[in-house]
């Protein structure tokens, strides 16, 4: 699709992975809405990608543990469409999209997955509470996604243009664009990544002890279905992103 953002469940079979950052209390209430609106438009700049509809992801081997061997990663993250060396790939690769994550000592969450442009839109969903209930999928996609009690945020990378950005999936309907220094994003050319840096305190009211992440590609058209074979973590193939299909990452330094 061609858009630019103009304003824009079941037991958790989740492996908790130590990242880095301050140990923090549970989150408070959701932050105030910033102009609720469906932030997707129908017009936008087209980039020079050469979509390959037959391959929703670039096949590749999962990176090694990476980062600093389990200690605190770098304090700042570069938004340049290339995977930061301080952010290990937590899951995925080969036939599914990679999911990389790190948390800085300042409470900034870095996430990345394979860039869009091979025939699908790519999303990374972020919840600060265990996902339990279903909401409609973002960007008018088919199916549902599991969400926690608080805000459900996501990083989006569109197949047909160079847009990438952060959004909040509203409980009722619609996606609200999140902008400013607390919500940074970038996407690279094919073979790169879509990456984002999210200030957890600003996004959730406090730095949560655990964040729940999922990287999911969807067919590019409105109403497009989840490309289940390529989602990370692995799902059950039913077209919905369920609670057990998230990865839990702790934010405290080991």
Q: Give residue 159's region: left, alpha or beta (phi > 0; psi -120 to 50).
A: alpha
Q: Give residue 251's region: left, alpha or beta (phi > 0; psi -120 to 50).
A: alpha
Find the domain containing 235 and state its range: 73-250
Q: Establish if 1 belongs to a structural domain.
A: no
For residue 49, count CB atoms less than 10 angstroms from its CB and return exposed for 0-12, middle for 13-18, buried for 19 or more.
Answer: middle
Which tens digit of pLDDT belongs to each residue from 24-60? 333 333 333 333 333 444 434 434 344 343 344 443 3
pTM: 0.76
Q: Establish if 234 belongs to a structural domain.
A: yes
Q: Establish if 180 belongs to a structural domain.
A: yes
Which tens digit of pLDDT belongs to each residue from 136-172? 999 999 999 999 999 999 999 999 998 999 999 988 8
Residue 245 DSSP label: G
Q: Establish if 211 belongs to a structural domain.
A: yes
Please compute, for residue 210, the number of CA atoms within 13 A of its CA located in the half-sphere on the CB side: 13
Per-residue pLDDT tens digits of the chain, which is 254 residues long = 444 433 333 333 333 344 444 333 333 333 333 333 334 444 344 343 443 433 444 433 333 333 333 445 557 899 999 999 889 999 999 889 999 999 998 999 999 999 998 889 999 999 999 999 999 999 999 999 999 999 999 999 999 998 999 999 988 878 999 999 999 999 987 778 999 999 999 999 999 999 999 999 999 998 999 999 999 999 999 999 999 999 999 998 76
What is the number of structural domains in the chain?
1
- Which of 51-56's residues contact partners 24+ apart within 8 Å by CB, and which partners? 51/117, 51/118, 51/119, 51/159, 51/160, 52/118, 52/119, 53/118, 53/119, 54/119, 55/118, 55/119, 56/118, 56/119, 56/120, 56/217, 56/227, 56/230
Rounded Cα distance between 115 and 193, Å, is 4
Q: Establish if 34 belongs to a structural domain.
A: no
Q: Establish if 94 belongs to a structural domain.
A: yes
Residues in CB range of 221: below 8 A, 6 or more apart: 1
Do 188 and 48 form a contact (C-beta atoms < 8 A)? Answer: no
């Amino acid at each position: 699709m061609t858009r630019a953002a103009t304003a824009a469940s079941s037991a958790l079979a989740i492996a908790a992975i130590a990242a880095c950052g301050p140990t923090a209390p549970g989150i408070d209430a959701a932050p105030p809405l910033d102009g609720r609106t469906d932030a997707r438009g129908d017009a936008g700049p087209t980039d020079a990608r050469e979509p390959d509809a037959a391959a929703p992801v670039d096949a590749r081997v999962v990176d090694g543990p990476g980062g600093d061997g389990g200690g605190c990663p770098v304090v700042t993250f570069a938004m340049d469409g290339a995977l930061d060396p301080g952010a290990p790939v937590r899951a995925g690769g080969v036939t599914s999209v990679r999911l990389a994550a790190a948390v800085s000592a300042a409470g900034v969450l870095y996430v990345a997955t394979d860039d869009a442009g091979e025939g699908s839109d790519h999303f990374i969903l972020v919840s600060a509470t265990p996902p339990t209930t279903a909401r409609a999928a973002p960007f008018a996609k088919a199916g549902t996604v599991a969400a926690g009690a608080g805000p459900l945020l996501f990083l989006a990378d569109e197949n047909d243009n160079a847009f990438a950005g952060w959004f909040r999936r509203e409980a009722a309907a619609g996606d609200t664009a999140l902008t400013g220094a607390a919500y940074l994003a970038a996407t690279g050319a094919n073979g790169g990544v879509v990456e984002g840096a999210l200030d957890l305190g600003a996004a959730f009211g406090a730095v949560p002890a655990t964040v729940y992440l999922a990287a999911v590609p969807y067919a590019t058209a409105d109403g497009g279905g989840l490309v289940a074979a390529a989602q990370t973590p692995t799902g059950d193939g039913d077209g919905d992103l369920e609670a057990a299909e998230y990865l839990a990452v702790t934010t405290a330094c080991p």
